Amino acid sequence: MPRASGPLAARSMTERWIEPLGLLQGPAASACLAQGIALPLQGGPLAFPLVRLLAEGRSIGILPVQAIPEAWRSLLLSLTRRPPDFAGIAPRLPGRPLVMGILNVTPDSFSDGGAAADAEAAIARGHAMLAAGADLLDIGGESTRPGADPVPPEEEIRRILPVVRELARAAPVSVDTRHAATMAAALEAGAEIVNDVTALRHDAGAAALVAAAEAPTVLMHMPGTEPRTMQAEARYGDVVLEVARFLRERVAALEAEGIPRARIAVDPGIGFGKTMAHNLALLERLPLFAGLGCPVLVGLSRKRFLGRLSGIAEAGRRAVPSVAGALFAASRGAAILRVHDVAETVQALAVWQAAAAGMVPEAAV
């Protein structure tokens, strides 16, 4: 393969990223991979024939993959290698993202107005999500909508523990919390995964607890550690690079604390301290995050920016824009989709995957 030479190859850089461009899927991806003119994104099924090289926050060139300079090629392994299945959960269909059902056991959920605020209703909703095709459930007892008041761990534990205990018998369960005490109680009750919107920064004991429990964890980007104030901090130069840099630093910090990269998924935090423009930029350039070598989780379900784009003010009526956003995220390399509308998302993914592959699934024959 030809290699770039001269100033581009020799330039010394303190921070470098390779951003995949021109994503392909289906027969086109397979053909280009076979010809050596594309590379797989995290092991496939998506592939990329072009890259943008970024150094010190600036683009320094767009190249075909064959012409990536030798000095940059060490960055390709984490970008092209398939990460281990997150929490050991294999997708129901190869190449399909995992579907994580959102279960808010709160009286003030932005998405459903507290429809699952009591344990009995939450358990019934969780079983319905699993029947509709969810691969795992994410259970939370504290609202993290913009401006939400904090909930003490004792109340959070009271809300979620019966729900976690029951649903963990049926499927993998993630606990959505910022508090180490809640993490510990939920893991003891059968939860397997910790999903922290502050990337284990809010509670000083969280990282050590997760490391000792050997629990897979989702690290999300949010400016600061308080949902009440995050929107006031939505100030970025290049939001994509700044979020990616934050996540890279958190992954490295937690590896040093005993949480291996193989147990980490990353979430760019759509809607958490972001404007609509920031959210759309993160979705469009989502393939950049594959370079962290972790599965990428996207949670945009029923978010306010979708309401603005679609003209739907009521969060509970945003299923269609949510599914559209989820499909776009899947087409950009998302490995996990965190959603409220499980049945609709699973059905849409089945059609998208079959159309992209140009094949009739065996189950539909």
Burial class (CB in 10 A: 0-12, 13-18, 19+), 35: exposed
The per-residue pLDDT for 330 is 97
Q: Has residue 4 got a pLDDT over 50?
A: no
Q: Has residue 37 got a pLDDT over 90?
A: yes
Residues 163-198 have pLDDT tens digits of 999 999 999 999 999 999 999 999 999 999 999 999
Helix (H) or strand (E) holding 196: strand 193-196
Q: Please state which of the four CATH numbers 1.20.58.410, 3.40.50.1390, 3.20.20.20, 3.30.499.10 is assigned to the domain occupying 86-357.
A: 3.20.20.20
- DSSP secondary structure letter of residue 91: -
DSSP string, 98-162: EEEEEEE--TT-TTTTTTT-SHHHHHHHHHHHHHTT-SEEEEESS--STTPPP--HHHHHHHHHH
**pTM here?**
0.91
Structure-token pair, residue 227: 């949902």
Catalytic annotation, residues: 303, 338
User: Average pLDDT, stretch 32-41?
Assistant: 97
Q: Has residue 2 got a pLDDT over 60?
A: no
Contacts of 124 (CB under 8 A, 6+ apart): none
The per-residue pLDDT for 55 is 95
Please give the residue that has the higher pLDDT: either 357 or 80. 80
Rounded to the nearest integer, the mean pLDDT of the chain is: 91
217-220 and 264-267 strand pairing: parallel
The per-residue pLDDT for 190 is 98
Closest by CA to 163, choosing from 91, 106, 215, is 106
Closest by CA to 198, choosing from 160, 229, 155, 240, is 229
Range(s) of the chain covered by CATH 3.20.20.20:
86-357
The runs of H, that is alpha helices, within 224-292 are 239-256, 276-284
